[in-house]
Amino acid sequence: MDNDDFERKSDAEIWALLPNLESRDKCSALRVLGSRAFDREEFGRAASLAGEVASIAAEMDDVRLTAWSLADQAIATCRDGDCNEAMDHFRQAVPWFERAGDDLGKARTLNSVAMCALNARRREEALEAATVSYDISAAEEDTHIAGMSAFHAGKASYLLDKEAQALQWLARSREAFRAEGDVSRVAMVDDYAATVHDYLGNYEEAASLLRSCLHVAETTS
């Protein structure tokens, strides 16, 4: 069976089938149940089901399914409010993306590590993960991941009292989002850069950046 077969069944029907399913079909069934749990905002259940898929996939040595299932587990765990545990799951996914030869998957995952680390106030770890993510995504010319990674590196640097480094990272982030044509994220970066400049006493620069943000807010949705 594939996901479409299970999508047509109710949760109760899928649970009834599970004991008799072979490994790959069991993964498909659990992924459907996990997706539905996530949509219902039952994030703890979704994380648990994604973890089951990851375990089965690892036993089958399906590196891509293992990587993505660990990432799904991390996302659900993060939405459930546990950033530290989510970081652990994201980190577990990294070597599986490496084995799959998926550099952008690794970059996305490390960017998520950086985001969780910032939320958990683990700033050194955030900066380290964001730096590696930026290096990979810039080399792969993925401007979105590069922009987000540089933004997270900029935030981590500022929170580590490295203001000059923070502004350098934020400039890289702004450049990436400009290349992508994402004006709302350019404004997001400018807003944070204004915070750094304000802290440094560069009030004219901060005011100029904030006026630019206001213009974006007034002219876009």
pLDDT in tens, 128-162: 999 999 999 999 999 999 999 999 999 999 999 99
3-state secondary structure 102-164: CHHHHHHHHHHHHHHHHHCCCHHHHHHHHHHHHHHHHHCCCHHHHHHHHHHHHHHHHHCCCHH
Query: pTM of the prediction?
Result: 0.90
- The span from the CA of 163 to the CA of 141, in Å, is 27
Number of neighbours of residue 32 by Cβ within 10 angstroms:
21
Position 5 scores a pLDDT of 84
Instruction: Quickly count helices (H) and strands (E) in the chain.
Output: 12, 0
Token pair for 28: 């498909």
| Tens digit of each residue's pLDDT (9 = 90 or more) over 27-44 | 999 999 999 999 999 999
| Tens digit of each residue's pLDDT (9 = 90 or more) over 185-208 | 999 999 999 999 999 999 999 999
**Phi, psi of 61, deg, nearest 5:** 60, 35
- The span from the CA of 155 to the CA of 42, in Å, is 30
**DSSP H/E element including 88:** helix 83-99
- The span from the CA of 22 to the CA of 216, in Å, is 53
